[in-house]
Amino acid sequence: MPASTAADEAILRFSDVAFSWRESDAFRLEIESFAVRRCESLLVMGPSGSGKSTLLSLACGIVSPQQGEIEVAGTTITGLRGAALDRFRAEHFGIIFQMFNLLPYGSVVDNVLLPLRFARARRSRAARDGEPAGEAQRLLVRLGLDPALHRRSAPTLSVGQQQRVAVARALIGNPAIVIADEPTSALDRDHRHAFLDLLFEEAARAGATLVMVSHDATMAPRFERTVELGGLARPA
């Protein structure tokens, strides 16, 4: 058997994972085996309520499973707690939340730089070609946000502009994995495809694995692999 390349190695792996929300018995997410390769682009499909956002939250340690193990870049994150888990998440993950989760205070650039406050190695990567603020502005311009808006506060921007800020924040400092929760839901078809072009290009430039969830099947051909989540979530 030929030796595997670095790109073939799993950067994210679920083993015998089971999760249910304690305050709700609406569903139970069970994942016997699931892996994502380094530098892969993966689309996770499924209807509303199937557990797509929960899968992402498990992957980056926002919630912990009641059973099983989750491994990221060779580290079993189900064994991490508190500040150690927070630091690991900040170093390794760029997260595009469905509701963006931008800070209402501070500027657009401040929002983009936020993950670097908790991730020393990621901050160093962002500063390779100058100050991190310069890299933040480069990303914002590349994503189509006019420099005149970079010192504005996030709530003064349109939904589409806020989306671009959220993506720049996820990409800065070349995190190993970019997690995207329905990031194109606010865009029409033409803007959606243009947005994906930029996201794929910047993720590839950073050498990042891209994992996105959506219920929009028209995006599937853009990704290297598509996984249907319906078979992983079951009624309690």
CA 189 – CA 210 distance, rounded (Å): 20
pLDDT digits (tens, 9 = 90+) for 155-192: 999 988 898 899 999 999 999 999 999 887 767 777 77
- The torsion defined by the Cα of 119, 138, 130 and 154, in degrees rounded to 10, comes to -50
> What pLDDT, on a 0 to 100 scale, did the predictor assign at position 173?
95
The candidate with the shortest Cα–Cα distance to 170, out of 111, 84, 99, is 111
**Arithmetic mean of pLDDT, 201-205:** 88
Beta strands in 61-196 (DSSP E): 67-72, 75-76, 93-96, 177-181
Query: Contact, 79 vs 33, CB < 8 A?
Result: no
Residue 131 scores a pLDDT above 60: yes
Q: What does residue 43 show for φ and ψ, rounded to 5 degrees?
A: -110, 125
Q: Which amino acid makes up residue 142? A: R
pLDDT digits (tens, 9 = 90+) for 98-124: 788 899 988 999 999 999 999 999 999
Percent with pLDDT over 90 in the chain: 62
Whether this prediction's pTM lies above 0.85 is answered by yes
CA 152 – CA 161 distance, rounded (Å): 11
Query: Contact, 176 vs 75, CB < 8 A?
Result: no
Q: What is the DSSP letter of 31?
A: E
Domain extent listing, the chain: 39-61+82-224
Q: Which fold has domain 39-61+82-224?
A: Rossmann fold (3.40.50)
